[in-house]
Structure 1
């Protein structure tokens, strides 16, 4: 029963939020898009949904509006039926709506703080460009192959010796098999901005055919640079991404500074088991931290470390491919 009602609970929460953003009563009378029994769906509600779909082209707006309207009609029918069954009073539904409301209000606060931050200057953008040659002037597209090897510390030297003796990835893999080492591998082609910023400089220094080895919780990770090709980006092309990244960084810092001031001036008391290992007042809660506005970053967007080239977790970076 709980599983079957989960999608409906989400619909209820979303519907409540849309209703709150639909405009005033007088405006609705002249902006009605459809009537569902005694309830109205307005153009404001449709526009609110469309605004949350980035990249929508003007010529697609009409068709998208009609699709959104049909979804809102289905949503309204579900809401009406749920209210008839008094599901809007279900404690779980009320809790979800309240949580969504708090998230929206907290995000509005973060956006307001971010609005006070100044944009980076041309000099700051040029400085960032010059300080990150691996991202821009000397940017490369990397073909990487990785092996995760299960091993104990006393076996590390033997594995390093096999790596030194091998001329290719396949030759090294065969040597591991012959020695009964268990391992898994994956490969990916990544642009410089899609690699973790902390690892980029080290990878940029590698030549085609080089490898690096590092420990992991279960043994060793070996990263091979199978090949690469140069694809530099000039400052003019990189400027929008750099500006967005630096601005987003400033917003995050401003939010953290403001939250710290709020914590310092507020009385926060941890109770029960939470009092046993209460965090310091200087650290902001992760839930609020996650609401910080994000912007396209040239390199610092979340991406897997060199020990995990998971395509699902690699961001698109600047989209310069």
Structure 2
């Protein structure tokens, strides 16, 4: 995005602390003493510490979509990254930065995230591959994604506004002149906003808004409420690019499998909560009444299922 009036944000913690988390993540993932592995696994030595091929491969596994012709270059880059991290780890120990309370808190948070994610992934293994009938039903139930799929050229305004300003901004955005006048209006009235232009196929749009986009004509706008204002999206134009079932089937299968995993994980968390004693104290005491009736936080299962949560392509 190209911000028109976006105030600068200052980092709340020195950049070195963020680097420490990445460094220790790699350290926890694979570093061990040289006596515990054969020399054939060692690909580099940094002072007295060895780096193994397993650490290199672990980094490569995080790079999805890596083509075979990119593998050699990516492997070399991964090794250089590990060498830089090892140098930082060794220096960090010398200056005792690993004992900094904030660094230790971040390391513990990272550890909890890794362990809980591993559990969720294990629970999600109970999901089964969707049937052909389920895939076919999803294909037919979502024509905007497949048979009537469109590619949209959009203009977007993410606008900060007070409750008292919302009606005026919404009226201006829906006046039919948003493409020409909305930016000028926002600037003239000192609104803070981000403006962006993009070309997006249907599968890259929010699922809950896709039906609205499918009905929109060129030049029409969609206004979505946000916590601090509004998101205004204008359809400049669109073109029809349908996708047949045979091409869409693998993506639909993966999407439905991921959704099944998320439901299994959410049900498991709900059962764990029901079987446990959870007591909220202090300023969170009133939260107990609402927590039981609400679904598990998105963060609890986000990323636990393989793939992503976007619409199938």
What is the TM-score when the length of structure 1 is the normalising length?
0.75
**Alpha-carbon shift at residue 14 of structure 1 (Å):** 2.4
Aligned equivalents of 1:88, 1:219: Cα separation in 2: 41
Question: Equivalent residue for 1:94?
Answer: 104
Question: Equivalent residue for 2:5?
Answer: none
Of structures 1 and 2, the larger Rg is shown by 1
Q: 1:219 to 1:262 in 2, by over 3 A?
A: closer
* 1:289 maps onto 2:301 in alignment: yes
Contact kept? 2:152, 2:199, Cα under 8 Å: yes
Aligned equivalents of 1:42, 1:66: Cα separation in 2: 13
Contact kept? 2:280, 2:287, Cα under 8 Å: no
* 1:3 maps onto 2:14 in alignment: yes
Residue 175 of structure 2: SS of its match in structure 1? helix
Question: Equivalent residue for 2:251?
Answer: 241
Question: Equivalent residue for 1:280?
Answer: 291
Residue 163 of structure 1: SS of its match in structure 2? coil
**Alpha-carbon shift at residue 145 of structure 1 (Å):** 4.0
**Alpha-carbon shift at residue 248 of structure 1 (Å):** 0.8
**Alpha-carbon shift at residue 85 of structure 1 (Å):** 2.8
- Please report the RMSD computed on the Cα atoms of aligned residues, expressed in angstroms: 3.6
Contact kept? 1:125, 1:243, Cα under 8 Å: yes
**Alpha-carbon shift at residue 143 of structure 1 (Å):** 2.7
What is the TM-score when the length of structure 2 is the normalising length?
0.77
Aligned positions of 1:158-197 closer than 5 A: 163=175, 169-170=179-180, 173=181, 187-197=197-207
Contact kept? 2:120, 2:301, Cα under 8 Å: no
Aligned equivalents of 1:289, 1:272: Cα separation in 2: 27
Q: 1:84 to 1:29 in 2, by over 3 A?
A: same
Q: 1:114 to 1:4 in 2, by over 3 A?
A: closer
Aligned positions of 1:56-75 closer than 5 A: 56-75=66-85
Aligned positions of 1:1-321 closer than 5 A: 3=14, 5-19=16-30, 26-145=36-155, 163=175, 169-170=179-180, 173=181, 187-211=197-221, 223-278=233-288, 279-282=290-293, 283-296=295-308, 299=311, 318=313
